[in-house]
Amino acid sequence: MGEAGIGWIAAIIIGGLAGWIASNFMNSNTGIFMNIILGIIGAAIASFIFSFLGVSFGGWLGYLIAGFIGACILIWVGRAIS
């Protein structure tokens, strides 16, 4: 989050938005708290994967994109496990 240039409050808001978009995209029925968790953890995972591949997103929009992609991955993994 620090390298994306956003603070904790913004990360929670953007993470929640990313998680909500991902849950709607993946037709998953999760609550607002789970959306925030999926978005924040998803952004961290996706940012790590993208940096490993040499791709970087910056700022709020980059964090939102990474959160969306990461949350979609987490929802998919959760469905595959259960």
Q: Which of 20, 43, 29 is nearest to 79 (CA)?
A: 29
User: The pTM is what?
Assistant: 0.78
Give the pLDDT of residue 5: 60
Read off the pLDDT of residues 19-78 as tens digits, 9 standing for 90 and up: 899 999 998 887 778 888 888 888 888 888 888 888 877 778 888 888 898 889 988 988
Where helices occur in the chain by DSSP H, the ranges are: 8-25, 32-52, 59-81
Count CB atoms within 10 A of the CB of residue 9: 8
Give the pLDDT of residue 21: 92
